Structure 1
Amino acid sequence: MNPKRLSQLAVPIGVVAIILMMVVPVPAGILDFLIALNITSALLIVLVSMYVQRPLDFSSFPSLLLVCTLFRLALNISATRNVLSHGYAGKVIEAFGHIVISGSLVIGLVIFAILLVIQFVVITNGAGRVAEVGARFTLDAMPGKQMAIDADLNAGLIDETEARRRRSEVTSEADFYGSMDGASKFVKGDAIAAIIITIINLVGGIVIGIVQNHLSVTDAISKYSLLSVGDGLVSQIPALLLSVSTGLIVTRASDSDDMGTVVAAQLGSQKKALQIAGGAALALCAVPGLPKLPFLLVGGGLLVIAQRLHPKQGKDGVPALAASTAPAGPSPDSAEAIMSELAVDPLELSLSADMVSLVDGPGADLLDRVRSLRRKLALELGVVMPPVRTRDNLDLPMATYAILVNGVEVARGQAPTGTVLAIGDGLDNLPGIDGQEPVFGLRGKWIGTELRAQAELLGATVVDRSSVIITHLSETVRTHASRLLGREEVSALTQALKRSHPVVVEDLTPALLTLGEVQRVLHALLEEGVSIRDLVRIFEALSVAAKSSTEPNRLVEAARLALAPSITASHLYDGRLQVLTLEPRLQQSLLESARPMEGGVQLLPGPELVESLLNSVVAQQQSASERGLRPILACSPQIRLPLRRLLSSTVPDLAVLSYNEISSNATIVDTVGVISDVRTVAV
């Protein structure tokens, strides 16, 4: 049979056999074998408990403890049946009775009582208390451990696989100590059962010997006391071993190595303590009446061991003196510690005190959504969003969150506890707090979660607090993506591209452009909401353009032209491109006002023309928005970039594309408005 299949069947078959032993008589020969198996199994469990490095490495111990306890009780029942029926329960029980009693019933009962006291009062009670406290502390520490794992994941110190493994380990640890708390009760109950079974064997055996077997009182006491004490011993020895195993498992405070190695290393690291203990043992030899040889052997042995140890040797064989002189961590007032506190997190989400439940509470999913957002934005923008540092901020008003980029607050919103945001009309009759969707500015109301179904019946869109925050965070990252793309991030993107397209990277940097110049181009693209995911096309375009000019604006326009299909596709609605165009005379005026400057070409029209242009753009965009349209502005390639800069402060959401970027695509264009000089129209 397959060994794996056999191991799967062993435990169920064993449990069924144990149950049958309680009902079906077991011959004395088989009982001897089972008793030997019981003692050996208990010894094996003790050794395994000592050699495992962590309690979780023996996670099956609680269940195994129950099975072994049940097995031992079944043996007690079988032995009791044989003692009372035949006056004989096998050679193992008889031998234990003869050795311990030594011809005296009083000695046997005293030894048996001492074993019970050791197991029941000392080991079982102590192990049970430690298991109870360990279970309580482990459960109390679970939220903090989960938050620490999430913090490491958000900080990029571990990946998703490692975080999942650690969460599973935390859960398993809580389950294990909870099971150990219950399993310790098995040991205590087993000790009580042993006392009752021994009394039954002793009293019942004497009665049966006198009444049924017609033995004298002396003979009955001698015979059945031997068997009763022998049966008690063969059951109490494995029980004592399992009690010790329970204590060893629940009192393990180190998971770095097995128990023997840890104890030897820790005791052996204290050379002075060994010397003092050895000297004290030798000093006891001077006490009149005490035997000299035992104390000489013990004291001399400790001094020899201490002499052979290196000075203050630690666990890894490294002198502790050297370790003590090793540089310690910087003090809180040191320059290093202060410099570490000066570090600014690229992206931070601050929560008011009453909003911490979104991170650490029942059903808290904010951190999981942040991780999903990082992947989504990476695929959308081509930039890996930095880890989001989530922290509580007592300075924030209640029900408020703030988003910080490079330590500067750039967005703020509200999300009252116990509410959801209902967006729509007809919500005046619902109790709640007036609010606003933070990204699109839609009017809404924060209502209690119990009113969610009622709001949906009124036709409102209902959004939970985490979704509101994640949507706001997503839009904030898109808006400030260029500020989040540092030199290190550009270097990482370049190295990743070099692994798949080495020639593309080597042709561009450092041969033609430095990493800083590449970063400026990528910044400019992100500032206009252009994804830099297609780095291959960007680098190829820059390689061609940089051979004639390294002027930043020309490089940006060359990269945009290479990305024209994806740029245009991002503005399509139902396969059509909605466009605002410039009136020809206005465009000509802007072309004539273009002047080369140090920072690139700039438009320098008169103030009246600028005002007219802005008013016309705002009016046309507002008209398009009222019709449910989101158009782009098309213009000549020569003025695209300076025109975008001119309009960015007034209409930041209006994308400006050149005719070349549009014509490179087989796109259906719908002209939804014309930007004209309002002064000319008025005349």
Structure 2
Amino acid sequence: MNPPIWKSLATGAALPAAILALVLLMVVPVPALLLDIGFVVNIMISLAVLMVALSAAKPLDFSAFPTVLLLATLFRLSLNVASTRVVLVDGHQGAAAAGHVIEAFGAFLIGGDYVVGLFVFAVLMIINLVVITKGAGRVSEVSARFTLDALPGKQMAIDADLNAGLLSPDEAKARRQEVATEADFYGSMDGASKFVKGDAVAGLLILFVNIIGGLILGVISHDLSLGEAARTYITLAIGDALVAQIPALLLSIAAAAIVTRVSSPFDLSGQIGSQFGQWRAWAPVAAILTLLGLIPAMPQMVVLPAAAFAGGICWLLRQREQAERKAPAPITIVAEPHQIAWEDVCETAPVALELGYALVGLVDERKGAPLMARITAVRRQLSRELGFVLPPVKVTDDLALPGNSYRIRIAGVVVGEDEAWPNELLALAAGDTLEPVAGRACKDPSFGLDALWIAADRQVDAIANGYTVVDPATVIATHLNQLFARSAADLFGLDEAQALIEALKAGYPQLAQGLTPQPYSLATIAALCRSLLNERVPLRDFRALASAMVAVGKPDMAATELTEAVRGRLAGLIVQTIVPAQMPLLAVTLDPDLEALLNQSVRAAPDAVWPIEPELARRIVTAIREAVEPLLLAARSFAVIVSPLCRPAMARLLRAQFADVAVLSFLEIPEGKSVEIIATVGGRTDEAALPEPDSIEKDQ
């Protein structure tokens, strides 16, 4: 076995062994020399903990403090139990029976007078238990409560910064981890403060046990007089209590310093020094002390030197401030104008929202950043609907834009732009309105409805007259939501496909193994997913999609053929996105003669992007628009049903004209699904959709 493994085993076993030793210390008799070593180590540990607590820039820099506090308290209590045993068993032999450390505390700190020792111990207990421990416990409790209450807000702020492009995904992950650790830390400190309080109470009870037990044993078992027993055992008990309470007091101070810290780039001494380093604060101190020193009853020999000391500090701090003002400004190295960095020419954010200067307040954190919250909600909801995580939105200001304008880019292409007024509201006339409301006429950027930008104080009047009123942040977010949904295929790439496969491996490892790398490459899977997203087919049930691809099992199929084969196996999912299960599917079909003509066109040019003759395509689109216009106005969902051969060509043709209309083949209608045909395009009732006979013969 190599040394690193031994080293790791030794490191891992050190802490359990130490805890076991502490437990043994409570039950196994310990010689006085070992007690002396333990008391010195206890003082050393308490001092080290205090120094680390004072040096921490923020509480999380000493995140192990709650556990360290528990172990230090356990160590001290183990020493108390061991020393109690020694004091009661060998205390009649003299002050050195329990070790030289207890003897030194009893002789030096209390002068050998146990009455003085009782008062000194009482004062230490009051300071530790009533002042420091109680205050630290209260601060820990309040900090834990406030930290937990602020946790959702902090997480939303991180999401907002991530959407704005201020944080990278790794930085956002680290920030979320820090927020979670902070909540855990303050929750642990709330409980750890109870250890400090319990330790102080235990020290008081152990003192009483030592005194009462020592008096009883000294008088009954060792034939000492009551006075001799009191001098011997009370002195030992107080020395033992003091040697334990002084480290406990140090740990209480460390706990109070940790929980009262505010995050700062400096340690505690640097933070206090920077905040007390203002000469304007010391000038009144020096003046007031000088006035006190002039009072006859005051000890001038003490007060006036203190006033001079405060005045000297004030003079030194003012001199330093003046010197800093006269210091030359630091030289800033400016890049050569002919040097261009990659960051200047590369745009890595797939989605960008550019705002005019008047709209910057919508992303200002001091004003609540309402637009960032809306964008986060849009991304979360659409990601859930589409089945993959949409990329963050990089929000920037653009001085080239008019003040109230905004522009949306997806994959570097401007897909939408409009205007919004940050101090006004958009009133949508979605139906009949009672009375018009005064405002600036416009079109809703998302749905093209007639709308008005109105003053905020007219909101109640607009709602009462039948308008739907939304704020500018919602207007922009809704527009972004619509463009997100339409451009989902442009946002899906190899990384997103790999993420779906990794998630599939976690739940269905055999299915993932049968999907890739054989028979399908990652690029083929990504292309298929983009093709489905182009036609509004979500990837939520990627397991069903993967099962369909595995069932097809022909990697040499053309991309269009593969897509059609997979769509046939996802028929239920596709139709479900159009109409609920309990409702019939409204359908528009083609006349058999027209459909035969379209099939013939596709067979003649199977690889063509637009195999349909332009004039025929125009007439088909016109006829379908006339047939479905009532459904579009009523916002009812329907589908155009054609033969499997011409479905891809018809889908491309109609997608350019009707972004939300689904085109299905006969094979994509699930068994048992009721279909209601509302129109047939190209029949005798719709002769305008058919080409002229001469043009048909010419095309053939």
Which category of TM-score, normalised to the shorter sequence, fits these structures?
A: 0.5 to 0.7
CA positional deviation for 1:624: 7.2
Match of 1:25, SS?
Answer: coil
Which position in structure 1 is the counterpart of 2:564? 573
Aligned to 2:123: 114
Match for residue 214 of structure 2 among 180, 200, 205: 205
Residues 57, 264 of structure 2: 8 Å contact kept: yes
Structure 2 distance, partners of 1:7, 1:83, is 36
In the aligned structure 2, how far is the partner of 1:17 from the partner of 1:59?
Answer: 25
In 2: Cα distance, 1:289 partner to 1:576 partner: 100
- Mapped partners of 1:385, 1:646: distance in 2: 19
Report the secondary structure of 1:128's partner residue.
helix
Aligned residue in 2 for 1:479? 486
State which drifts further: 625-634 or 673-682.
Answer: 673-682
* Aligned residue runs from structure 1 range 207-286, under 5 A: 207-268=216-277, 270-286=278-294
Q: Are 1:131 and 1:184, in contact at CA under 8 Å, matched by a contact in 2?
A: yes
- Secondary structure class of the residue paired with 2:88: helix
TM-score using structure 2 length: 0.56
2:296 alignment counterpart: 288
Provide the rounded CA distance (Å) in 1 between the counterparts of 2:25 and 2:53.
28
Q: 1:567 to 1:188 in 2, by over 3 A?
A: same
Ranges in structure 2 where 5+ consecutive residues have no aligned partner? 92-96, 330-355, 395-409, 417-423, 429-442, 450-476, 492-530, 536-555, 569-593, 603-612, 628-637, 665-681, 684-688
Query: Superposition pairs for residues 588-607 of structure 1, below 5 Å?
Result: none
Residue 372 of structure 1: how far off its partner (Å): 4.0
Please list, as runs of the form range in 1=range in 2, the aligned pairs for 1:434-453 lying within 5 A after superposition.
Answer: none
In the alignment, structure 1 residue 139 sits paired with structure 2 residue 148: yes
Q: 1:409 aligns with which of 446, 470, 489?
A: 446
Q: In the alignment, which of 673, 677, 680 is matched to residue 691 of structure 2?
A: 677
- In 1, Cα distance between equivalents of 2:112 and 2:23: 36
Q: 1:625 aligns to what SS in structure 2?
A: strand
Compared CA separation, residues 83 and 586, structure 1 to 2 (3 A)? closer
- 1:631 aligned residue: 647
The 1:107/1:29 distance shift into structure 2, 3 A limit, reads: same
Query: Is 1:47 paired with 2:63?
Result: no
Retained in 1: the 8 A contact 2:160–2:372?
Answer: no
User: Partner amino acid for 2:445?
Assistant: V
Q: CA deviation at 1:611?
A: 5.2
- 1:479 partner letter: R
* Residue 185 of structure 2: aligned partner: 176
Give the partner amino acid of 1:84. L
SS of the equivalent of 1:63 reads helix
Q: Which runs of 5 or more structure 1 residues have no equivalent in the other structure?
A: 323-335, 388-392, 398-405, 413-469, 486-525, 531-564, 588-602, 635-639, 656-672
Q: State the alpha-carbon separation in 1 of the partners of residues 288 and 205 from structure 2.
A: 46
1:90 aligns with 2:99: yes
- 1:540 alignment counterpart: none
Aligned partner of 2:37 among 33, 36, 55: 33
Separation in 2, partners of 1:26, 1:584: 98
- Number of aligned residue pairs: 470
1:167-212 Cα deviation digits (max 9, x unpaired)? 1111111110000000000111111111110011112112211111
Q: Are the structure 2 counterparts of residues 625 and 174 from structure 1 closer, same or farther at C-alpha, using a change threshold of 3 Å?
A: same
In the TM superposition, 1:212-611 aligns within 5 A as: 212-268=221-277, 270-310=278-318, 338=358, 340-341=360-361, 372-375=388-391, 408-410=445-447, 476-477=483-484, 479=486, 569=560, 573-574=564-565
5 Å matches for 1:635-674? 648=657
CA RMSD of aligned residues (A): 5.6
- State how far apart, in whole Å, the 1-side matches of 2:38 and 2:151 are: 42
Paired position in structure 2 for 1:16: 20
The AA in structure 2 aligned to 1:69 is T
Equivalent AA in structure 2 for residue 135 of structure 1: A
Matches of 2:620 and 2:99, distance apart in 1: 112
- Distance, in Å, in 1 between the alignment partners of 2:37 and 2:165 is 58
Matches of 1:377 and 1:118, distance apart in 2: 55
User: After alignment, is 209-218 or 278-287 more displaced?
Assistant: 278-287
Deviations 1:425-481 (A, max 9, x none): xxxxxxxxxxxxxxxxxxxxxxxxxxxxxxxxxxxxxxxxxxxxx9x9887535368
Deviation at 1:228, TM superposition (A): 0.8
Distance 1:47 1:35 in 2: 19
Tell me the SS of whatever aligns to 2:446: strand
Spell out, residue by residue over 1:552-575, the C-alpha distance to the aligned partner (whole angstroms, 9 max, x if none).
Answer: xxxxxxxxxxxxx99974995249
1:61 aligns with 2:65: yes
- Tell me, yes or no, if the aligned pair for 1:271 and 1:311 is still in contact at 8 Å: no
Residue type of the alignment partner of 1:573: E
Residue of structure 2 equivalent to 1:77: 81
CA contact (8 A) 2:219 2:225 kept: yes
Structure 2: distance between partners of 1:376 and 1:629: 38
